[in-house]
Amino acid sequence: MFRGVPFAAPPVGALRWRPPQPAAEWRDVRDATRFGPASVQGRPNGLTDVVPYGGAPEPTSEDCLTLNVWAPVHGAAPAPVMVFLHGGSGVFGSGSLPYYGGAAFARDGVALVTVNYRLGVLGGFAHPALTREARASGDLMGAYATMDQMAALGWVRRNIAAFGGDPGNVTLFGESAGAISVLNLAAMPLARGLFDKAIVQSGGGWFPPGQDRKRAEAAGVAIGKVFGVGAGGSVEELRRIPARQLMELNLPGAGFTDPRLAPEGLTSAIAAGRHARAPLMIGANSGEDSLLDHGDGVARLRAGIKPRVMARLRTLYPGADDETLARNYFRDGVGAAAARWVARKWSSRAPAYLYRFEHVDEAALARRDRAPHGSEIFYVFETLGQQPASIGAFPATAADRRMAAEVHGRWVAFARTGDPDGEGLSPWPAYSPGRDPWMVFGQDGACARDHLMRKQLDWYERRTAPLILMLRGRAEGRRLLRFLAGAPALPGERGGEGVLAR
């Protein structure tokens, strides 16, 4: 294990809100026995403590651009490499959390890399002063977290061979916000060649383009004014604002993505086939609606669903009560249907594999019958028993351990060859629209099933995909993104639930 390895210079002082710069070189042996600090943590609306939900405990710091490597014992051939991007709504989390440990991957001959990157307003910000500075220097602007992820992937290409890894066989994978980052990078021309395969765990796929620079600058001006820095303020004044105070502000972000990074939104890029020609695994959990459990998420969504939509949901989910209908609407409309759409579009350009994770820790079955958002992580990493408090760490049974071995084995097989089938595993067909195959990780094991929830998912796709592609960054799209991230609405807005309700 090599912990806390810098892949870029600390983004502090004059380097705050600038693209990542090269890390300082060193000549002697460097201590790599301790994790580097996570980025300063923020919190979605409705949470006061993010640690139970996957947030990083102290120490945290603005000086956070480090990665960690779990290296296999050197063999005759270079090892496949997997690079993991953590989730956390883009405002909290860390690559050093115990349930992202890579020991099982290294044991099975994979070099595993986890990454810290800038979060929240530190990872995405715009202001007229920053725009003036970037235009003078030629720097990319706005999406600093994305640039950090690209810098980490560049470090892996250049250096992973020294750890026994194969720089020509890199799988990028992530969960939740990290999975959205994987999709974003797959759709970005400047990220081409940084990875060879991709895995998207609960990352959806239906996202309108983010806000444009002018709107992002206006949001940045509003944030600056809280700290006494007006529209005409200098970059030096902005950079003197304490990082923790910025992250504690909990206002909607002022980030945007420089068009040189992303000429178009990821959904429109995928729809048009303008994405990396890389094998893809993508899926969702049966309990993605657990994202609604903090704050008043369920109530907000129920209040925004129009009667005609609720009537249709009753025909799609017979016998379900109104709360379950709202939960299913979120779970399948944001999760499963979007994942299936991505897999179908992707399959015309490169192999795609679609999954649904349904397995619930056996000791937890008395409390829940759905696999919550993020619960597959502990099976992927084989870190059962280390779940955060929001999911609950239950004693693993033999059935749980068998499922962890199955899921982990699929991820390892995909990293090796781009195909999640392996010795002793049941066949997982590549996605094709006619067959519509899913690999379902259920309570009784894993098996392929065709046309899973076809009637329901077809309905979501007919009504949602065209709307998302039509929005092209309009206000409805921005409200939807804020709602999904748990962020508060701007003054005068209803929030994103109204967009979902359509």
Report, as residue numbers or ranges, the catalytic residues.
176, 288, 373
CA torsion 302→303→306→310, rounded to 10°? 30
**Residue partners of 111: CB distance under 8 A and separation at least 6:** 69, 70, 71, 72, 79, 80, 81, 82, 105, 160, 163, 164, 165
Q: How far from 10 is each of 390, 457, 465, CA to CA, in Å?
A: 32, 45, 40
**Residue partners of 299: CB distance under 8 A and separation at least 6:** none
**CB of 266 within 8 A of CB of 184?**
yes
DSSP helix/strand/coil, 109: coil
**Residue partners of 424: CB distance under 8 A and separation at least 6:** none
Structure tokens at 418: 């781009």
Distance of alpha carbon 403 from the chain centroid = 23
Q: What is the 3-state secondary structure (H, E, C) of 163-192?
A: HCEEEEEEEEEEECHHHHHHHHHHCCHHHC
- Calpha distance 260→300 (Å, rounded): 36
* Residue 128, H or E segment: helix 128-137
In 10 A of CB 270, how many CB atoms?
22
DSSP helix/strand/coil, 280: strand
